[in-house]
Structure 1
Amino acid sequence: MLLTKIKGMALKLVDGLELIDFGFALPYTWVLIGGSEGKALGVAMTLPEEIQRYTNSVIEPSLEAFIKKADSLNVIERTLGLAAVNAVSQYRLDLSNAKWVDVLELIPENAGKIAIIGNMPPLVRELRERGHEPYVFERNVKLWDRETLSDALEYHLLPEMDAVIASASCLVNGTIDMLLDRAKRARLFVLTGPTAQLLPEFLRGTKVTHLASMKVADIEKALLGLKLGSFRGFEGGNQKYVIEVI
């Protein structure tokens, strides 16, 4: 399980870091940590449709305790765990080789069949305007439109795809292993969105080729947006980046 591997690698990087604050919230769950070089904020998309029971086995919250739950079957624990992993990743991340561009810049004109995992309307609209015909898969029926395919079809259609752009919420809902396994011929596999704040070395040896996420430029402003449940309040002051997994 990829999440178990990521958890183990993240736990080796927590020395000198401490948990400052956290929140299981909408639209993003967040974890704030600090160390000798300052603070870092990690987030993970909260998926209310995945929640079964509102329980959490963490009695004494800590950075290490949260990360240990990153592969939990309990989605609340898993979401907090991934936010903690992302906080550590952002603290340790070297962006000297990053490109400060949007994920769209990765898509060549002759990309072939493109799978979009998780309906992302602005991205889908731009791809169609550029002449592509993306296959859009979505689990949450509230996000469906007439062109959206059920995520149940991913298993059957992904082997035909030449490129995959997946919302990193696939880490939160636990489908990442299936996606990587089924995307047999994809030359491009991008994890995108705020939940994709991972260190690229966590994904070496997988089919993931790029991470397209965002660096929090103003932590206090971003935190206020998160506490107010605002997409725009959180994302407005952040910088989008793309980094290659090599």
Structure 2
Amino acid sequence: MGPKLMRALVTRAEPDGQATVQRLAALDIAAVAAPLMSRRTLETSLPPAQGFAALALSSANGLRALADRGVVEQYRALPVFAVGGRTALEARSMGFADVVDAGGTLGDLANRLAHARLQGPVFYPAGKHLSGDLAKSLAPFGVMVVTARLYDMVPVDHLPEAVVSGLQSGDIDAVLLYSRRTAELFVQALEGRLDRTQRSRIAMLCLSEAVAEPAMAAHFNRVSLADYPSEEAMMALALAVTRERNRP
């Protein structure tokens, strides 16, 4: 009998959750998606595209919110500075021709914008709960950022009982966490539902140290970090963990 396949839980919101499940399946890692948040587009007022030098994206959700509002076409002529490869890919898929992949973090995005010699302000379609302040980061460089909070990531009421049971029984071996807020929601959803032994056997695969902190504080002690905050690095981490798990 061959080694038992690792089964992972993907906690990110859709449509990214199912995309990650499919990438894991290509690595022979079974996965189930249980999003801890869902995106809700807000009716925030939008500035006209005229006068902006660039569009900044710290998440593909900013683009999706523009698409929900039916206004992508208005901004399509602007050069795009995307936080990472997946967001850059989504921008290109929506018809943006001039797209820069900043490299993976909000700091990388700010750095690329700071040194881009832009002749005008930057439009930043963002979420209601910002993980960082792009405008504050760029102010010392004389780059003006107009932020429009276009979507909200709304927590789900609870994890499905089948998922909780899988975590309790050991049927789910690993959990992928992509944001600090998701990690906090995961810990809250399982408060009082997992004992010390159950927590100790679950591999927590985290995008960054900040994402890992809530899991470590909740005494999940098998915490691993991606080498870099990207989907590709998370897939490499999942593959490394499943190989270690099946090592004789």
TM-score of the superposed pair, with normalisation by structure 1: 0.31
Larger Rg: 2
